[in-house]
């Protein structure tokens, strides 16, 4: 092989090595000198935003989006008197290492959330109450299962106090408090009376601190929630204006209510014999409690024993005077 061919082989070998180096790192000085610098960028740490499992864009900062949502929802803060508003519960912001350089602004992502889910999908701190339905046996022997109920409140005390209000629609308030405080009058000896032995709710109730959707019904007062727990609705109940001569039993029968239902709906009356006065307004709402209360009573009463006198002649004895 002559010198010329040897030189060509050496040059070809050097070029091959140079191209190999450039291929492994397209941003080397050699590549820049030769004008072969790659335009491919290095991967970056970004955040992919998923709404209901579908990607709606990539952003640079998770915190920036969360802060923007909070700033834009001042109306919700004022309505519910809360300090912070959060993203929808089905929004996930996932950190990813990606070459994708199509980055969205937080404003663009926010608008997509509003367009897809609506402003009511944003969430606030509160409590989620779950009342599990139970299986009940009907008079005809069949069984039905009551509906599960999900409620939202800002303060769990609103729920617990509402349950108490609902219970005292069925049980006298003083009697209920005496049961809770274990101050019921004891029945001893020949005493008579009634005491509550046990009182419990059959349904399983779960109270969980959670971020609750601002677009769902949120109960803010005990009065509103206790009304729902008793009647199954917060709508205004039908009312009736008492006329002269009306009785609780007559009003109940005329409106397809039992006297018990009437008394529960109108807690200011204690018995069906309570007097009414003309012009008085009473509720005719049909109750539909959202939980089932079981009361076990211990009753001691005096039962009259009927005595029967039997006359029997004794022919072994003399009757009259003996001479």
| DSSP-assigned letters across all residues of 6-64 | HHHHHHHHHHHHHHHHHHH-TTSHHHHHHT----PPPPEEEEEEEETTEEEEEES-HHH
* CA distances in angstroms from 158 to 78, 84, 130, 213, listed in the order given: 20, 21, 14, 18
Q: According to the model, what pLDDT value does residue 153 have?
A: 97
Residue 216 burial class via C-beta count within 10 angstroms: exposed 0-12, middle 13-18, buried 19 and up: middle
266: three-class secondary structure by DSSP: coil
User: What CA–CA distance (Å, rounded) separates 44 from 48?
Assistant: 12
Element (H, E) at 168: helix 156-170
Predicted TM-score of the model (pTM)? 0.72
Q: What is the DSSP-derived secondary structure letter of residue 241?
A: E
Q: According to the model, what pLDDT value does residue 36 have?
A: 45
Q: According to the model, what pLDDT value does residue 309 have?
A: 54
Q: According to the model, what pLDDT value does residue 285 have?
A: 82
Q: Which residues of the chain have pLDDT under 70?
A: 1-10, 12-41, 299-323
User: What CA–CA distance (Å, rounded) separates 100 from 43?
Assistant: 8
Q: According to the model, what pLDDT value does residue 297 have?
A: 75
| pLDDT tens digits, one per residue of 270-307 | 888 999 999 999 998 888 899 998 888 776 665 565 55
Q: According to the model, what pLDDT value does residue 259 have?
A: 87
């Amino acid at each position: 092989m002559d010198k010329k061919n040897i030189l060509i082989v050496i040059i070809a070998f050097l070029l091959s090595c140079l191209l190999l180096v450039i291929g492994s790192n397209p941003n080397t000085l050699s590549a820049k000198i030769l004008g072969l610098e790659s335009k491919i960028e290095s991967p970056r740490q970004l955040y992919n935003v998923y709404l209901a499992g579908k990607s709606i864009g990539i952003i640079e900062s998770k915190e920036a989006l969360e802060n923007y949502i909070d700033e834009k929802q001042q109306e919700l803060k004022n309505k519910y008197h809360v300090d912070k508003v959060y993203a929808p519960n089905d929004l996930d912001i996932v950190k990813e290492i990606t070459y994708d350089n199509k980055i969205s602004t937080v404003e663009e992502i926010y608008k997509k959330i509003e367009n897809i889910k609506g402003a009511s999908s944003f969430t606030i701190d509160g409590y989620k109450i779950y009342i599990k339905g139970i299986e009940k046996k009907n008079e005809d022997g069949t069984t039905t299962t009551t509906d599960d109920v999900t409620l939202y409140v800002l303060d769990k005390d609103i729920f617990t106090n509402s349950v108490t209000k609902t219970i005292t629609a069925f049980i006298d308030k003083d009697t209920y408090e005496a049961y809770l405080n274990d101050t019921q009058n004891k029945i001893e000896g020949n005493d008579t009376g009634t005491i509550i032995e046990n009182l419990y709710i059959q349904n399983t109730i779960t109270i969980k601190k959670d971020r609750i959707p601002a677009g769902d019904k949120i109960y803010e007062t005990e009065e509103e929630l206790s009304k729902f727990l008793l009647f199954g609705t917060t709508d205004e109940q039908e009312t009736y204006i008492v006329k002269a001569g009306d009785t609780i039993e007559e009003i109940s029968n005329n409106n397809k209510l039992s006297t018990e239902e009437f008394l529960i709906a109108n807690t200011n009356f204690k018995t069906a014999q309570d007097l009414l006065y003309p012009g008085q307004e009473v509720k005719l709402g049909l109750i539909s409690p959202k939980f089932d209360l079981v009361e076990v009573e211990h009753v001691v009463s005096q039962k009259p024993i009927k005595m029967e006198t039997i006359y029997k002649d004794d022919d072994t004895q003399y009757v009259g005077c003996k001479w």
